[in-house]
Amino acid sequence: MAIGRRGILAGGAALWIGAPAIVRAQSTSKINVSHGMAMHGEPRYPADAGPPDFVNPDAPKGGAVKFGALGTFDSLHPFTLKGVPAAGIGNLWETLCRQSPDEAFTVYGLIAETIEWPDDRSWVAFNLRPQARWHDGTPITPEDVVFSLDILKSKGRPNYAAYYADVLKAEKSGERKVHFTFRDAMNRELPLILGQLPILSSRWWQGKDFEKVSLEPALGSGPYKVDSVDVGRSITYRRAPEWWAKDLWLNRGRSNFETMRYDYYRDNTIVFEAFKGGAIDIRRENSGRNWMIGYKDLPAVADGRIQRAAIAHENPAPMQGFVFNTRRDMFKHRNVRQAIGLMYDFEWQNKNLSYGFYQRTRSYFGNCELEAKGLPSPEELKILEPLRGKIPDEVFTAEFNPPKTDGSGNIREQLRQAIPLLKAAGWEIKNGKMTDKDGRKLAFEILLSDAAFEKMALPVKQNLERIGIDMTLRTVDTSQYQRRTDNYDFDMIIDLWAESLSPGNEQRDFWGSKAADIPGGRNTIGIKDAAIDRLVELIVAAPDRASLITRTRCLDRVLSWHMFVIPQFYSGKALVAYWNRFGRPDKTAKYEPLAFDTWWVDEAKDRALTNRGEKK
């Protein structure tokens, strides 16, 4: 299932290890026709169902909301690698289907009225709704869908070409019907992820350079339009009165704000100050320290003008950590990565910087049934045994857990473990510096996009100095950070991979060999490993839920024991603070707990807050 990066659809590398390249001219499977499609099993909601219980279908429309964003932007064209797209710009375009936030991976027709597919999933077709319209009132056509796939694969962000590499072609097959032909039937989630394809207007783009950075918003079909732009500083969206999909059952109670404004700030500290001062309405909190003490003495919290909520969810915990760029020679040896990882004292950091708020991340699929625990099961061993000798030996003998300290700041034991690891990799301390046989010093730079990350990196830097390793911190602006990370021009960064309960095609982009050379991809680690490629392909081809879980746990073990990342932390809850002028549904979707598109401005609360003269 696709996961976004920088608000853009994440792609996957074009690898088909173990999958025969067979083009099926005609499937003999039974043909299914439905309003929705589940990765495994059946959709929860029937056709034209009533509103889901995680929305308020009677939510009033209107009012304004202000969000804070970090850095800057210079583009309103999010489909090319060039430029930094504005926050919220994805609200301009609809997709063929909409994913359900309370099901593991189920999509329901949006632009598409119905979906057709054979049991073997060797192709898919979408029948478009006759009422589907662009903002100028013209119909969305099969030609637009075909154009969207072709232009995104040929001229869009590189990950689109990789993500839809198994789609051989799209063609109009009826007045309102589009048929997608697949390379083979091995990628069972491909029909669903085609539903996530953003649909662009072929007529609007005719004669325009698709690869050029643009501050002209393309013709859209979604709930919002661009209202005003102050380049690099702010962008405001206004609800599109002509939005054709507002009365569909899956949209009732959503997209309620009349305007949404994103103001840009230099760093998270300034964003927090802006929120406390009332310049921002809603803040998704990502700092455990802020959550524990930052709001503690605020009068607005004490008297209820600012509300806070910690909402439990059932999403996998993302893998966030210090990421080694294994394209660098110094990080190719696992011993080096392991030794540096020993210098991250999570327990001390959590106690002293985050007031004990976080848990240590130990899995790429943590906090859910996909997480590998204990030793491999018999079912897992059937997959892992053929890879013995090509994957870390510890996969078979030990449960992966990051090193643990007593939180005192004394890491003498970790130091004793790290030095022999480095020596086995060809490094030893000479004149106080970790040096190889050619006299090169072990030194590297960690590239950061936010000064707030410096407090996490500095203790690691200080601990590394004790074993003769120099780590330099460099914090750069958003544009430079994106340019450097897109081209993998870094030694180490802090990155994260947010997983779903239905991993699949996007795993190629996260860990696949071919993705390592695609600019702007998600394989920031630079993994090129045939065994990992094999495990990824097994996940993509998983025929049922049980096999998906088993195969994902195998991948989790192998990635973890390679020590590509120094795992950091997670909270298991979505944290949000907001000025008390909003209503939100009584129940939240278990896989999308915040879902700001289901909130609304409560006129009575807004009036009470404004009358106090404290928040306007």
Helix, strand, coil: what percent of the chain each, to 5? 30, 25, 50
Bridge partners of 448?
A: 475
Strands lying side by side in the sheet with 97-99 = 36-38, 106-109, 97-99
Nearest by Cα to 106 from 250, 273, 283:
250
∠ CA 351-356-359, nearest 5°, is: 115
The answer to whether 9 touches 156, Cβ cutoff 8 Å, is: no
Bridge partners of 323?
A: 493, 565
Contacts of 105 (CB under 8 A, 6+ apart): 1, 38, 39, 40, 99, 189, 192, 500, 501, 502
Tell me what pLDDT residue 612 has. Answer: 77
**Up-side HSE of residue 481: CA atoms within 13 Å toward CB?**
21
Low-confidence ranges of the chain (pLDDT < 50): 2-26, 616
Whole-angstrom distance, CA of residue 254 vs CA of residue 355: 36
The answer to whether 206 touches 233, Cβ cutoff 8 Å, is: no
Tell me what pLDDT residue 613 has. Answer: 63
The answer to whether 159 touches 7, Cβ cutoff 8 Å, is: no
Bridge partners of 566?
A: 322
Whole-angstrom distance, CA of residue 362 vs CA of residue 398: 13
DSSP for 413-456, please give it: HHHHHHHHHHHHTT-EEETTEEE-TTS-B-EEEEEES-GGGHHH
Tell me what pLDDT residue 7 has. Answer: 32
Tell me what pLDDT residue 614 has. Answer: 55
pTM score: 0.83
Structure tokens at 597: 């598109």
Structure tokens at 439: 């006299």
* CA 344 vs CA 166, 336, 464, 563: distances in Å: 41, 13, 9, 13
* CA 373 vs CA 313, 382, 390, 547: distances in Å: 21, 17, 21, 16
* Average of per-residue pLDDT values in the chain: 92
* CB atoms inside a 10 Å sphere around CB 77: 21
Q: How many residues are present in the chain?
A: 616
410, amino acid identity: N
The answer to whether 271 touches 262, Cβ cutoff 8 Å, is: no
Rg over CA atoms, the chain: 25
Pinpoint the alpha helices (H) of 310-449.
334-341, 346-353, 378-384, 394-397, 412-424
Tell me what pLDDT residue 478 has. Answer: 87
Structure tokens at 293: 């003490």
* CA 168 vs CA 32, 256, 558: distances in Å: 21, 39, 32
The DSSP 8-state label assigned to residue 133 in this structure reads B
Whole-angstrom distance, CA of residue 315 vs CA of residue 117: 28
Bridge partners of 167?
A: 182
Q: What phi and psi values does residue 528 have, to the nearest 5 degrees?
A: -135, 95
∠ CA 330-335-338, nearest 5°, is: 100
Bridge partners of 574?
A: 311
Residue position matching structure tokens 């959709």: 43
Where in 568-613 does DSSP place strands (E)? 569-570, 573-579, 582-583, 600-601
Whole-angstrom distance, CA of residue 523 vs CA of residue 518: 9
Torsion of CA 325, 327, 333, 335, to 10 degrees: 0
DSSP for 53-104, please give it: TTS-TTPPP--EEEEEEES---BS-TTSSSS-BPTTGGGG--BSEEE-TTSS
Helices 334-341 and 412-424, packing angle to 10 deg = 170
Structure tokens at 157: 């962000």
Strand duo 224-230 + 234-239: pairing: antiparallel
